[in-house]
Amino acid sequence: MANLYNNLNLIDLNDYSVSWWEKLLDRAHEIMADPSAYVESCKGKIMGTLFYEPSTRTQMSFQTAMLRLGGTIIGFDNPATSSVAKGENIKDTTKIVSGYADIMVMRHPVAGSVKAAALTADCPVINAGDGGHLHPTQTLTDLLTLKEEKGSLEGLCIGLCGDLKNGRTVHSLIKAMSCFKGTSFVLISTPELALPAYIKDVLSAGGHPYKEVSSLDDAVGMLDVLYMTRIQRERFASPEEYEKQKGHYILDKKKMAKAKESMIVLHPLPRVDEIAIEVDDDPRAMYFKQAKYGMYIRMALILTMLEENSLKVPLITGKVHNHQKCSNPLCITHKETYLPHYFRGDGTMLECEYCDERTLVE
Ligand code: CP
């Protein structure tokens, strides 16, 4: 039976109110001020970390966060060492682990996979990145970094540069920052790696000014924040297509010289070559500090999700249309074919509940 009204998942940050995010940011600030006060906060609790895709920061910061709260961890960081290698589906693996753990963190290479897991899980599920779709806890990390380093989340001009098509951190951050007054966006990419239409719709709906440009050199001087991203090699259909895009944007000292003194550089990491090592010593380079903020916000998130019992956030708001296929070939419904085909909306256009892609009614 699907868990359509499970209230304790974090699949998409925008399922929650801005005031809920702000409470998390305040809590992370308090934890940073006195981490020792929290060493027994999750004593006796177990977190399951299911990483079907490689990770350094997200996995280890979640694990460290739970250990620093006095809890313990189980899980895998390589599905090849679990029964996934024998052909077990997401539903069965996550159902079992959710019976062992009090909270579960999952990363998977396919869009919509974590929502699929949450549909039948028996404990709260946190999305640690689902394919090229969303990465809500990276966004919480980014929001904490912006709040701590810029003092406010309002009135910022944010440049996002690189793989805006496949970068799930970009999609989640734009959705979140569109909720704050005075945000404007500069989208810096090649035409091939431009932002998907459904995320542009978020910008238009919020009335936020944005421009699409191809030159980082021309854009860097107008920014309060530059969010650099890696070209996501693993999301390309062929190595040749990746080769055409790689190395296009490189932030170096010369470009930093054109930026405001107050601009900060963020990057979800890992980097490949898009930020030259020479930039690391610039006081505006905030990406290593950003990764550390990620541990504190995840401590706040784990604490809050294990305590929360009042919120009601439905996982699914649409209806089943089993005859209809999602237009996104990278959607989980094409891989795990037992999943009900949930879509929002009606008329000629439907939105997939798992990956958010729009699909013309067949
Ligand atoms: N930012 C981020 O998601 O890094 P990892 O892939 O190392 O977890």
Local structure of residue 70 (DSSP, 8 states): T
Residues near ligand 1 with C-beta < 6 Å? Answer: 55-59, 129, 138, 268-270
Q: Which phi and psi angles does 290 have, rounded to 5°? A: -55, -45
Evaluate whether 166 touches 193 at the Cβ level (below 8 Å). Answer: yes
Report in angstroms the alpha-carbon separations of 1 from 91, 118, 121, 168, 339: 11, 12, 10, 29, 11
Evaluate whether 238 touches 213 at the Cβ level (below 8 Å). Answer: no
Atom 5 in ligand 1: which residue has the minimum CA distance? Answer: 55
Which amino acid is residue 8, in one-letter code? L
d(CA 133, CA 136): 10
The reply to whether 59 sits in an annotated binding site is: no
Cβ neighbours for 95, distance < 8 A, ≥ 6 positions apart: 120, 121, 122
Tens digits of pLDDT across the chain (362 residues): 556 666 689 999 999 999 999 999 999 999 999 999 999 999 999 999 999 999 999 999 999 999 999 999 999 999 999 999 999 999 999 999 999 999 999 999 999 999 999 999 999 999 999 998 999 999 999 999 999 999 999 999 999 999 999 888 999 899 999 999 999 999 999 999 999 988 998 898 889 999 999 999 999 999 999 999 999 888 788 888 888 888 899 999 999 999 999 999 999 999 999 999 999 999 999 999 999 999 999 999 999 999 976 676 889 999 999 999 999 999 999 999 999 999 999 889 999 999 999 999 98
Nearest-5° Cα angle at 340, 337 to 53: 55
Maximum CA extent, the chain: 57
| Chain mean position to CA 116 | 16
Distance 269 CA to ligand 1 centre (A): 6
Evaluate whether 193 touches 171 at the Cβ level (below 8 Å). Answer: no
Chain position carrying tokens 């980097």: 271
Q: What is the residue-wise DSSP string for 49-73?
A: EEESS--SHHHHHHHHHHHHTT-EE
Enter the tokens of residue 128.
Answer: 């640690």
| Nearest atom, ligand 1, residue 269 CA | 1
pLDDT at position 2, please? 59
Atom 3 in ligand 1: which residue has the minimum CA distance? Answer: 58
Domains of the chain, earliest start first: 13-136+293-307 (3.40.50.1370), 145-290 (3.40.50.1370), 319-360 (no CATH)
Q: Is 179 exposed, middle or buried (0-12, 13-18, 19+ CB in 10 A)?
A: middle
The closest of 308, 309, 302 to 67, measured between CA atoms, is: 302
Beta-carbon neighbour count of residue 113 at 10 Å? 28
Give the chain's end-to-end CA distance (angstroms, integer): 27
Enter the tokens of residue 43.
Answer: 């004593």
Atom 4 in ligand 1: which residue has the minimum CA distance? Answer: 57
Specify which residues 275 forms β-bridges with. Answer: 251
Question: Is beta strand 46-51 parallel, antiparallel or unpaired with respect to 72-76?
Answer: parallel
pLDDT at position 90, please? 98
Q: Which phi and psi angles does 270 have, rounded to 5°? A: -75, 150
The reply to whether 350 sits in an annotated binding site is: no
Quick check: helix, strand or coil at residue 243? Answer: helix
| Chain mean position to CA 223 | 22
Specify which residues 187 forms β-bridges with. Answer: 160, 212
Atom 1 in ligand 1: which residue has the minimum CA distance? Answer: 268
The reply to whether 321 sits in an annotated binding site is: no
| Chain mean position to CA 50 | 16
Strand order in the sheet with 46-51: 72-76, 46-51, 103-108, 125-130
pLDDT at position 245, please? 83
pLDDT at position 243, please? 84
Enter the tokens of residue 168.
Answer: 């799930």
Report in angstroms the alpha-carbon separations of 10 from 95, 134, 146, 313: 17, 11, 21, 9
pTM, two decimals, is 0.94
Q: Which phi and psi angles does 19 have, rounded to 5°? A: -65, -30
